[in-house]
Amino acid sequence: QVQLVESGGGLVQAGGSLRLSCAASGGTFSNFAMGWFRQAPGKEREFVCAINWSTGRRYYADSVKGRFTISRDNAKNTVYLQMNSLKPDDTAVYYCAADRTTSLSYDRARYDYWGQGTQVTVSS
């Protein structure tokens, strides 16, 4: 049973940084693509970025390109989201997700497993 557990959320001032972690277990993740999504109050869950676990190829939403970096640590089965230059608009619950194919996708319907989410709040 695949399990994803996010951590690292919190409160930060605009312009600050946070690093989120997603610890994955119960699967052979070299065959997966991993994604980060976020959901702000009253809005739909939206794509942030994704990484092919095997090749390291990355894909970012335009809204975070140049500010956020997704990475993975194979030995720890952990995916990270480094968030820099944070803005109040980045405030949301951030979710880690796993896709059993290696295709990088912005479509949340493609992802098979989800974590419980971690809150990120950016104050102005």
pLDDT in tens, 72-107: 998 999 999 999 999 999 999 999 999 998 788 999
Residue 14: C-alpha distances to residues 64, 81, 100 (Å): 14, 17, 35
Spatial separation of the C-alpha atoms in residues 75 and 111, rounded to whole Å: 23
Whole-Å CA distances, 46 to 25, 76, 90:
24, 26, 11
Mean pLDDT of the chain: 95
- Could you give the dihedral angle defined by the CA atoms of residues 89, 49, 20 and 5, in that order, rounded to the nearest 10 degrees? 120
How high is the pLDDT of residue 35? Answer: 97
**Cβ atoms of 14 and 86 closer than 8 Å:** yes
pLDDT in tens, 13-31: 999 999 999 999 998 888 8
The pLDDT assigned to 27 comes to: 87
| 112 token code pair | 């098979």
Residues β-bridged to residue 12 = 122
Residue 56: left (phi > 0), alpha (psi -120 to 50), or beta?
Answer: left
Cα–Cα distance, 86 to 93 (Å, whole number) = 14
Backbone angles phi, psi at 37, to 5 degrees: -125, 165
